Structure 1
Amino acid sequence: MPLLSLALCALAAFIAAFVRGMAGFGMAILLVPLIGLVIPPGEAVVVSNMLALMIGLVGARKVWAAGEKSAGVIGAAAMLLTPVGLLALFATPPEVARVLIAIVALAAFLMVLLPARPGHAPGKVETGLTGAAAGLLTGFAGMPGPPVVPYYLRRPIPREVARASMLTVFLLTSIASTAAALALGLASWRDALFAALLFGPVLLGNHLGAKAFGKVSDPVWRGFVGFLLAMSALMAVLRLITPN
C-alpha cells in the first residue's frame, strides 16, 4: 500500500476513534466506507471489527459496569447472527456491497429521526430483534450501530448509561465478528497487520474523545450524536452518487 494511502487511513482511523470515544459509537460508520476506498469492502469490515475488538478491550470492565443489563442480551443475540451477516457479505459482489453498506449508514440517521418515546421500556421481543439486526449488520457492514443507537438514544436515560451500553454491545459484536472471520477463513494476516498499524491512531483518538465526553453537557452530546449521524448519511449519499 502506498504510504500516502496508509497515512490517510491512519487519519481516518484517528477521527473515527475520536468520534467513538465522544459519542459511544460511530467508528465503523465512518471507518468502513473510507478504508473501503483503499481495500475491498469485505476486508474493510474485517479490519474495522478487529480494531473495534482491540479498542473495546480498553476499559471494558468499567464500561460493562456502567451499562444496562439489556446490553448483554442485545450483544448475545448479535453474536449469534454475526457469522450469517459475514457470510452474506463475502457472497455479495463488491460493488453491491459498497452500495448496501452506504445505505446502512443512511438508515442510521433516519432511524434516530423517529419520535422519542419517553417512558418506553423495550420488551424482550424488541430487545431480541435489536440484537439480531445488530448481528447481521455487524457481519455484513461492520456497523452494529443502526439498530442499537436508536434503542438507547430514543429513551430518556442518562447519557453515561446509553454510551456504556452501546460500547458493551459493540465489544461483544466485535468479538463475534473477529472470531467468525478467523473461523471461516475470511480474515488474513494482512488484515491483522493493517489493524495493528491503525491501532495507534485509534487508541489516541479514542482517548481524546473520551476526555471530551466528560466535558460536555447532555444537550451538546446528543446534538453531537445527531450531527454525526447526519454526516454519516451525507457520506452515504455522496458514495451512492459519485462514480467509482
Structure 2
Amino acid sequence: MELIAEFLAGFTSVQIAIAVAATLGAAFIRGLTGFGFGILLVPILALALTPVQAVLAINIMAGLLALTEIRLILREAERSALTIGVLVVLFTAPGLLALDATPQDIARLLIALIALSAFFAILLPKRGAQAPGPVTTGAVGISAGLLTGFAAMPGPPVVPYFVGRDIPRMTAKASMIGIFGLAALAGIGSGAAIGVLEWRTIALGLVLFPLVLLGNWVGSLAFGKVSDPVWRACVGVVLGAAALAALIKLI
C-alpha cells in the first residue's frame, strides 16, 4: 500500500476524485451495454491527466476486466471478433506512437471528435444479421487498433459493426467485450514497449479497478432486465452523451 501511495503522489486530489467518479460511472455503462468504458472515460480523464496517462490507465482497467469475463467471451462471441481482435493488436502501437507525438490540446480535441463519430455511426440504418465481408471486417480491425493506441477507443468502428446488425444483443456484447479486452492488453504492451507506461499510471489503474468491478457488476444486472430496443436506445444515448460532454468541456 505504501508503494501505491508513493506512485499516486504525483496526482492531485482533484485528479484522483475525477478519476474515481468517472470510472464508476463508465464501468456501469460498460456492464449495461458491453462497451463505452473508454469512450466515456478517456475524454474526462484526459482533462485531468495527460492523454497518454489516461489512455494507458484505462487500458489497464479494461484489460483486467476482460480477463474476468473470458468464459462469456468464449461462449457467446461471434467468430469475426477474433479477426478484428488480432488486427487491433497489430495496429495499436502505431496509434499510441501518434498520440505520444501529438500536442496535448490537439489530442484532446481529436479524442472528443472520435467519440462524436461513434454516435453518428450508430444512427445508420440497421442491417441484417450476416457478418460483413473480409474487406469491411479488416477495415474495422485496423481502424479499431489505431484508435486503441491513440484514444483507448476501439468502439467507434466496432460498436456499429455489431450493434448495427440484427444479431442477439448477448452476441454483440460478448464480441465487443472480447475485442476491447484484446485492445486493452495490446495498449498496455505497446505503452511498455515504447517507454511511455509509467509506474504511477499502473498504480492508478490498479487502485481504480475495484470500482470498475463494482460498476460493471451493477450494469450487468441492469442488462438482464431491459428489452432489446431499450438496450439499443441506451447505446445511442451513451455515445451521444459522451461526445457532447467531451466537446462542451473542450469549449
TM-score of the aligned structures, taking structure 1 as reference length: 0.96
2:155 aligned with 1:151: no
Letter in 2 for 1:111: A
**198-207 vs 2-11, which moves further:** 2-11
What CA distance in whole angstroms lies between the structure 2 residues aligned with 1:8 and 1:137? 23
**Is 2:49 the counterpart of 1:39?**
yes
- 1:205 correspondence with 2:215: yes
Q: Which moved more, 1:169-178 or 1:2-11?
A: 2-11
Structural mapping, 1:42-57, within 5 Å = 42-57=52-67
User: Which of 1, 15, 26 matches 1:5?
Assistant: 15
Return the letter of the residue paired with 2:220: A
Q: Structure 1 residues 155, 4: closer, same or farther in 2, change over 3 A?
A: same
Q: Which amino acid aligns with 1:16?
A: A
Q: 2:31 matched to which residue of 1?
A: 21
Q: How many residues align?
A: 241
1:64–1:165 CA contact under 8 A, matched in 2: no
Q: Deviations over 1:211-232 (max 9, x none)?
A: 1111111111111111101101
Pairwise CA distance, 1:7:
2.4
Rounded Cα–Cα distance in structure 2 between residues aligned with 1:119 and 1:159 = 11
Q: Secondary structure at the match of 2:125?
A: coil
Q: What is the aligned partner in structure 2 of residue 77 from structure 1?
A: 87
C-alpha displacement at 1:233, in angstroms? Answer: 2.1
Question: What amino acid is aligned across from residue 226 of structure 2 in structure 1?
Answer: V
Query: 3-state DSSP class of the match of 2:49?
Result: coil
In the alignment, the residues of structure 1 paired with residue 12 and residue 245 of structure 2 have an alpha-carbon distance, to the nearest angstrom, of 24
Q: Does 1:96 align with 2:106?
A: yes
CA offset digits 1:81-125 (Å, max 9, x no partner): 000000000011111100100100000001111122225530111
Specify the code of the residue in structure 1 equivalent to 2:155: G
Residue 191 of structure 1 aligns with an amino acid whose one-letter code is T
Counterpart among 142, 148, 151 of residue 138 in structure 1:
148
> Would the alpha carbon gap of residues 119 and 47 (structure 1) be closer, same or farther in structure 2, given more than 3 Å must change?
closer
**Deviates most, 170-179 or 119-128:** 119-128
Q: 2:187 maps to which residue? A: 177
* Whole-angstrom distance in 1 between the partners of 2:205 and 2:162: 29
Q: What amino acid sits opposite 1:126 in the alignment?
A: T
How far did 1:2 drift? 3.2
**Displacement of 1:33 after TM fit?**
1.1
Structure 2 unaligned residues grouped into runs of 5+: 1-10
**Correspondence for 2:74 among 64, 70, 80:** 64
Is the 1:32–1:44 Cα contact (8 Å) retained in structure 2?
Answer: yes
**Root-mean-square deviation (Å):** 1.2
For the Cα contact (< 8 Å) 2:62–2:184, is it kept in 1?
yes
C-alpha distance in 1, partners of 2:219/2:134? 33
**2:13 & 2:244 partners in 1: Cα distance?**
28
Provide TM-score, normalisation by structure 2.
0.93
* Structure 1 spans left out of the alignment, 5+ residues: none
